[in-house]
């Protein structure tokens, strides 16, 4: 497994776990109220910060436990470009949904969560694309 493929796996896991933890926390603390009335700002920011920190720590820990060569070739750069390009489409979709929600004067909760979900789906799709290209190869 290359360094970039391993980073993609770590990115998927940390992104999904942080988002699931955030959703679980918000739903658990809704106390029968509509979700839009739940205090979501701090948990959202904490989940994003936690995902970033855990991602960095996991990469460092795995680099110590199972070091891999840090050599990048043209194939690696092309896979990274394609993965990032694929994933960025979901960031755009999340931003458009957030914009439409704002134009519809919906609660800030739904706007923020649409954008956050777009980021998470972007991380997952982009990373899955990279892993798929590493596993199946590029034609």
Do 6 and 68 form a contact (C-beta atoms < 8 A)?
A: yes
pLDDT at position 5, please? 87
Sign of CA dihedral 127, 85, 125, 55: positive
Question: Scanning the structure block, which residue is given the tokens 């919906």?
Answer: 106
pLDDT at position 122, please? 96
Residues of the chain with pLDDT under 50: none
pTM of the predicted structure, to 2 decimals: 0.88
Please choose, from the candidates 82, 75, 117, the residue with its C-alpha nearest in 3D space to the C-alpha of residue 96.
117
Q: How far from 136 is each of 8, 72, 128, 131, CA to CA, in Å? A: 15, 18, 12, 8
Give per-residue pLDDT as tens, 7-43. 999 999 999 999 999 999 999 999 889 999 999 999 9
pLDDT at position 138, please? 66
For the chain, the average pLDDT equals 92
Q: What is the C-alpha separation between 87 and 94, in angstroms, rounded? A: 11
Indicate the domain borders of the chain: 3-136
pLDDT at position 3, please? 81
How many other CB atoms sit within 10 Å of the CB of residue 41? 11
pLDDT at position 139, please? 61
Please choose, from the candidates 24, 42, 32, 20, the residue with its C-alpha nearest in 3D space to the C-alpha of residue 109.
42
């Amino acid at each position: 497994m290359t360094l970039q493929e391993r980073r993609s796996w770590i990115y998927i896991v940390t992104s999904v776990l942080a988002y699931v933890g955030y959703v679980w926390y918000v739903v658990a603390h809704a106390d029968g109220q509509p979700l839009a009335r739940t205090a979501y700002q701090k948990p959202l920011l904490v989940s994003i910060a936690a995902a970033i920190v855990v991602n960095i720590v996991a990469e460092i820990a795995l680099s110590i436990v199972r070091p891999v060569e840090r050599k990048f070739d043209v194939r690696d750069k092309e896979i990274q470009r394609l993965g990032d390009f694929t994933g960025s489409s979901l960031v755009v979709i999340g931003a458009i949904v957030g914009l439409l929600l704002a134009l519809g004067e919906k609660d800030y909760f739904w706007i923020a969560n649409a954008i956050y979900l777009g980021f998470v789906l972007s991380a997952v799709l982009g990373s899955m694309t990279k892993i798929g290209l590493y596993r199946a190869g590029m034609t």
